[in-house]
Amino acid sequence: MNEGQPETRDFIRQIIADDLAGGRHAVIITRFPPEPNGYLHVGHAKSICLNFGVAAETGGRCYLRLDDTNPLKEDQAFVDAIIDSVRWLGFDWGGGLTHASDYFPRIHECAGDLIRAGKAYVDSLSPEQMREFRGTLTAPGRESPHRSRSVAENLDLFARMRAGEFADGEHVLRAKIDMASPNINLRDPVLYRIRRATHQRTGDAWCIYPMYDFAHTISDAIEGITHSLCTLEFEDHRPLYEWFLDNLQLPARPRQIEFSRLNLAFTITSKRRLAELIDLGLVAGWDDPRMPTIAGMRRRGYPPEALRDFVSRTGVTKKEHLIQMSLLENCVREDLNVRGARAMAVINPLKVVLTNYPEGQVEMLPAANHPDRPELGERQLPFGRELWIEQDDFMEVAPNKFFRLKPGGEVRLRYGYIIRCVDLVKDEVGRVIEVHCTYDADTRSGLAGAERKVKGTIHWVSAAHAVRAEVRLYDRLFGVARPDGAEADFKTFLNPESLRVAPHAVLEPSLATAEPGTVLQFERLGYFVADRVDHRPTRPVFNRVVTLRDSWAKLEEAAR
Ligand code: ATP
Ligand code: MG
C-alpha cells in the first residue's frame, strides 16, 4: 500500500483503499486498455501509471488489454509499439496481455442473450436516418420502425449479419433502451456493425464487430476488473456501462471511475493529430524525438523514471487542467543531473591555437565524470596546441560584461589552463576563423599554484583528438501553449526551431564508444543522448534531451 503517504493519496486510491478495508474486494484488478490505432502518448502514461500503479501498490494485478474492435484503423505494428512502451515505462502485466478480440465469441453470445431477452434488435435504417432519429441534446430521439421486430426475426437477421449475407452498413444490432433518454448514449446505442475488414488477429473470421462500449464492458467483466479507470469523456457512458452489467449475466461487476485527462501545454495528445503530422512529413515518425509519444520521449532521452515522476506529480483528480511543459522538462533535468555523466562537446566549433604550447605535445588532464558522484570516477582529457571552442564563447567586439574569450581577455579552459587571446585570423570576408592565444603554464586546474582566478570558464575539445558528430538540437514541437485551441489549425503553431542540426559538432574522444541510448551532460550545453536509431561509433549522432535551464520560462511568463 502506498507506504507512508496516505495524505497524498488521490481520490481513486482512496476509493480502492476503502474497498479493501471494507472487504468489498480482496484483490484489486485493473486494466490499461489502449486501442492499437497509434502509438501511446504522454496522456496514456498517466493511465498506465495509475492502473499498473494501484495494482502493484495493493498486491493486485493489471491487464494490458488491446481494445482491438476496429480493424479498419488498427495494426499489429501499433500493438508491438504499445507493448514496448508499457514495458519501457517500467510496468509488467505478468501474463495478463489480452485482447478484446479474445472475447469476440463471448461478446457475440451476449448479443444473442440481449436479443432473446427482448433488449436488442436489428435496425435497418440508413446511417443518415439513424442520425436523424437520434434527436439532439435538447430534443428526444424517435423510435425506429424496426424497433418492434420480434425476437425470432431479430435472431434470424443477426445470424444472417454474422453469416455475411448483408452488405456493410445494411443492418446494425442496437440495444433497446430509451430513445427519449436525456443521455444520448442510452438512445438505443449500436452494439454490432457489419464491417468486412481483415482483423490483425482474427483475420476474416468475423464480418461483424462489436462497438467499443459493448465490448469494453464485457471484457472488463470477463477479466474480473474491480475498478475500471477511465478518462472523464466516458462519464456519460457510465449509465450504458451499468446497463450492460445489469442486463447481462457476467462474472463480475466492475466499477467505472473517471479521472481527468492529462493535458500538456506546448503539445497535442490526440492520436489522430499526431498521425497527421507524420502523414504530412512534418515529423519523422511516431518515435520522432519531438513527439509526445512514449516512444518519442524514449528516443529523445527522457528516462522512464523521470516520466513516472512527472505523472505522479500531476496527480489524479476530476479537474480539467493544463500541465506546464516545464514541469515535465524539470523532472527530466532533475533525473539526468544525477544520472548523466559529464562530457565536453562543442556544437559550433571555432579553432583556438595556443601559440606558446609546444607543437606535437599532448598532455592528459583528469576530469571528474560527475561533480557529486565520485564513484563514477574520472577520465583523462587529451590537451594539445589546437583546440575547438564554441563560437559563442568568443566575441571580437565584446561588452564589458562578456567574461568569455575576447581580444586581450583571459578565460579558463575547463579542467585546464587560463588562456589569453593575443591574435585573430580572419577569412576573406572578415570572419574570425582562428583565435590565437597563449596559455599560462602555471594555472593548470587542480595543481598547486593554479589558484589564479578569472571570471569565465569555457569548455573545449582537443582538435587532434576530436570525434566529429552530428548533434540534433531538439526543442519544443509547438511554439504556443495550446496548439489545439480553436483559433487556427494546430499545424500553424509548429515551432520552426524544433529541430536544428549541427552537422560539424566535435566531441571529446571518450564519447566515441558511447552506446546508443547513453545520456550525458555536455557541460554548459545541456543533456544529450546517443540516438537509439542513428548513432554509430563511426558516425555519432546525439540528440539534445533538454537544455540546462528553462529557456522558455520568460516567454511563457510574457504570454500570460
Ligand atoms: P486519443 O484521444 O489520443 O486517440 P484515446 O483515448 O482514444 O486517445 P485509447 O487507446 O482509447 O486512446 O486510450 C487508452 C486509455 O488511455 C483509455 O483508458 C484512456 O482513457 C486513456 N487516456 C487516453 N488519453 C489520455 C490522457 N490524455 N490522459 C489520461 N489518460 C488517457
Ligand atoms: Mg479511445
451-475 tens-digit pLDDT: 788 999 999 999 999 999 999 999 9
pLDDT in tens, 409-423: 999 999 999 999 999
Instruction: Give the pLDDT confidence score for residue 2 in this predicted structure.
Output: 39
CA 51 to ligand 1 centroid distance, Å: 13
CB 39 within 8 A of CB 82: yes
* Residue 44 near ligand 1, beta carbon < 6 Å: yes
Phi and psi of 380, rounded to 5°? -105, 120
Per the DSSP assignment, residues forming a β-bridge with 343 are 522
Residue-wise burial string across 29-67, b where 16 or more C-beta atoms lie within 10 A, e elsewhere: bbbbbbbbbbbbbbbbbbbbbbbbbbbbbbebbbbbbbb
What is the C-alpha to C-alpha distance for residues 522 and 90, in angstroms, rounded to an integer?
Answer: 27
Out of 393-397, 482-486, 493-497, 546-550, pick the least confident. Answer: 482-486
- Amino acid (one-letter) located at 253: R
Binned at pLDDT 50, 70 and 90, residue 4 comes out as: very low
544 assigned to active site: no
Whether residue 80 is predicted with pLDDT greater than 80 in this model: the reply is: yes
Cell 443477426 belongs to 158
Q: Report the side by side order of strands in the sheet with 341-343.
A: 341-343, 519-522, 526-530, 541-546, 467-474, 499-507, 345-346
Per the DSSP assignment, residues forming a β-bridge with 467 are 507
Residue-wise burial string across 260-277, b where 16 or more C-beta atoms lie within 10 A, e elsewhere: bbbbbbbbbbebeebeeb
Question: Mean pLDDT, to the nearest integer, of 174-180?
Answer: 98
Question: Mean pLDDT, to the nearest integer, of 84-113?
Answer: 97
pTM of the predicted structure, to 2 decimals: 0.94
Instruction: Give the pLDDT confidence score for residue 1 in this predicted structure.
Output: 38
Instruction: Give the pLDDT confidence score for residue 308 in this predicted structure.
Output: 98
What is the C-alpha to C-alpha distance for residues 214 and 104, in angstroms, rounded to an integer?
Answer: 11
How does the average pLDDT of the chain come out, rounded?
95
Cell 502523414 belongs to 279
Cell 468486412 belongs to 196
Binned at pLDDT 50, 70 and 90, residue 449 comes out as: low
* Residue 47 near ligand 1, beta carbon < 6 Å: yes
Q: What is the largest CA-CA distance in the chain?
A: 101
Instruction: Give the pLDDT confidence score for residue 560 in this predicted structure.
Output: 62
CA 219 to ligand 2 centroid distance, Å: 15
Pairing of strands 322-323, 263-264: parallel
Ligand 1 atom closest to Cα of residue 262:
28
What is the C-alpha to C-alpha distance for residues 387 and 462, in angstroms, rounded to an integer?
Answer: 4
What is the C-alpha to C-alpha distance for residues 68 and 102, in angstroms, rounded to an integer?
Answer: 9
Question: Mean pLDDT, to the nearest integer, of 219-239?
Answer: 98
Written as nine digits, the cell of 493 is 503553431
Strands (E), 384-492: 386-390, 410-413, 418-426, 432-440, 457-458, 461-462, 467-474
pLDDT in tens, 318-342: 999 899 999 999 999 999 999 999 9
pLDDT in tens, 499-558: 999 999 999 999 999 999 999 999 999 999 999 999 998 999 999 999 999 888 776 776
CA 34 to ligand 1 centroid distance, Å: 7
- The residues near 315 (Cβ < 8 Å, ≥ 6 apart) are 10
Pick the residue whose CA is nearest to atom 9 on ligand 1: 34
* Residue 46 near ligand 1, beta carbon < 6 Å: yes
What is the C-alpha to C-alpha distance for residues 65 and 53, in angstroms, rounded to an integer?
Answer: 16
Ligand 1 atom closest to Cα of residue 272:
4
Binned at pLDDT 50, 70 and 90, residue 132 comes out as: very high
Selected catalytic residue, list 9, 73, 261, 404: 261
Question: Mean pLDDT, to the nearest integer, of 112-140?
Answer: 96
CB 263 within 8 A of CB 235: no
Question: Residue 33: which of 59, 2, 68, 60 has the closest Cα?
Answer: 68
Instruction: Give the pLDDT confidence score for residue 3 in this predicted structure.
Output: 42
Binned at pLDDT 50, 70 and 90, residue 156 comes out as: very high
Residue 68, Ramachandran bin (φ over 0: left; ψ between -120 and 50: alpha; else beta): beta
pLDDT in tens, 259-279: 999 999 999 999 999 999 999
Percent of the chain with pLDDT over 70: 98
Instruction: Give the pLDDT confidence score for residue 451 in this predicted structure.
Output: 74
Written as nine digits, the cell of 171 is 443492418
What is the C-alpha to C-alpha distance for residues 543 and 505, in angstroms, rounded to an integer?
Answer: 12
Residue 433: Cβ-neighbour burial (10 angstroms; 0-12, 13-18, 19+): exposed
Pocket-testing residue among 46, 51, 213, 231, ligand 1, by greatest number of atoms within 8 A of Cβ: 231
Question: Mean pLDDT, to the nearest integer, of 13-36?
Answer: 97
CB 451 within 8 A of CB 418: no
Ligand 1 atom closest to Cα of residue 234:
20
Regarding predicted confidence, which is higher, 527 or 486? 527
Whether residue 7 is predicted with pLDDT greater than 90 in this model: the reply is: no
271 assigned to active site: yes
351 assigned to active site: no
Pocket-testing residue among 39, 41, 44, 263, ligand 1, by greatest number of atoms within 8 A of Cβ: 44
CA 370 to ligand 1 centroid distance, Å: 39
Instruction: Give the pLDDT confidence score for residue 6 in this predicted structure.
Output: 41
* Residue 314 near ligand 1, beta carbon < 6 Å: no
Selected catalytic residue, list 134, 174, 187, 271: 271
Instruction: Give the pLDDT confidence score for residue 559 in this predicted structure.
Output: 64
Q: Say how many residues make up the chain.
A: 560
- CB count within 10 Å of CB 462 equals 22
Binned at pLDDT 50, 70 and 90, residue 8 comes out as: low
CA 68 to ligand 2 centroid distance, Å: 11
For the chain, list the domains and their CATH numbers: 11-261 (3.40.50.620), 271-342+469-559 (2.40.240.10), 345-459 (2.40.240.10)
Question: Mean pLDDT, to the nearest integer, of 128-143?
Answer: 96
Which contacts (CB < 8 Å, 24+ apart) does range 399-405 have?
403/454, 403/455, 403/456, 404/456, 404/458, 405/352, 405/435, 405/437, 405/456, 405/458
